Amino acid sequence: MELKSRKIQQEDWDMLSDWWKGHNWPVPARDSLPENGSGGIIIEENKEPVIAGFIYQTNSKGCWLEYIISKPNYKKDRSHLIDKLVQIAEEAALLLGFKYMLFIGKSNGIRKSLKKHGWLEDSEPSYENMKKIN
């Protein structure tokens, strides 16, 4: 099994939309994602895209890893894919000059991987709020 990473391309949008729909999740507005839907990383297994995540850059030393999505009909354990995505996202963030990364989500698999990579987790639940303001 060969895992390789690459930058998300505009041409990946339809596939990523299908992945969100395949998990019965709402497709985020493209213009709400970094670089209009191409500001992130895709991990390919044997040249086939299997997981992706987006990196929101800020004007601070912190960035945000979000909207992690994987191929819905992937039949194997995804933990190695999540681990690789987290590793590559951390490396990319360092190259971009960031010192801190944030993730907000409910996925136990992602949370487990983040803990394995040394991420801290708040023990209190929080809520995500969003509003389109125009």
3-116 homologous superfamily: Gcn5-related N-acetyltransferase (GNAT) (3.40.630.30)
Q: What is the pLDDT of residues 43-95, one digit of tens each?
A: 999 999 999 999 999 999 999 999 999 999 998 889 999 999 999 999 999 99
Confidence (pTM): 0.90
Q: What letter does residue 73 receive in the DSSP assignment?
A: T
- Delimit the domains of the chain by residue range: 3-116
35-38 long-range Cβ contacts below 8 angstroms, 24+ apart: 36/10, 37/8, 37/10, 37/12, 37/13, 38/7, 38/8, 38/9, 38/10, 38/12, 38/13
